[in-house]
A = this chain, B = another copy of it.
Amino acid sequence: MSLFGFSFKPRKKGSAETAKDRLQILLAHERSSGSGTPDYLPQLQRDIIEVVKKYIQVEQDDVEIRMERGNELSSLEINIEVPSGKPKEEAAKA
């Protein structure tokens, strides 16, 4: 099985003009066949975005999410683009 074949999508056209930082997060949860493990990716996604907000100022518009859910494999892609002047300095120094 070669289920894991992610590739990051190319930077949006025009982004080069305004300096932006970009954070991409890919998650894949592969469940053993018949394990019946709950799919926790949706909750995990929310928690991870909360964690990211500790380090950068994330507006809702900056976040793009794609999720695919299957019996054995669920995957989640989170794309965050922020102007590069938006780090949260107090957190970044921690």
Number of copies: 2
Chain A at the B interface: SS class: loop
A40 CA to B24 CA in the complex, in Å?
A: 13
Q: How many chain A residues touch the partner (CB < 8 A)?
A: 48
Interchain CB contact under 8 A, A23 and B29: yes
Q: Contact between A51 and B44 (Cβ–Cβ < 8 Å)?
A: yes
Of residues 1 through 43 on chain A, the ones whose CB sits less than 8 Å from some CB of chain B are 1-11, 19-35, 37-38, 40, 43
- Closest B residue to A15 by beta carbon equals B32
Contacts from A to B (Cβ < 8 Å): 1-11, 19-35, 37-38, 40, 43-44, 47-48, 51-52, 54-56, 84-85, 87, 89, 91-94
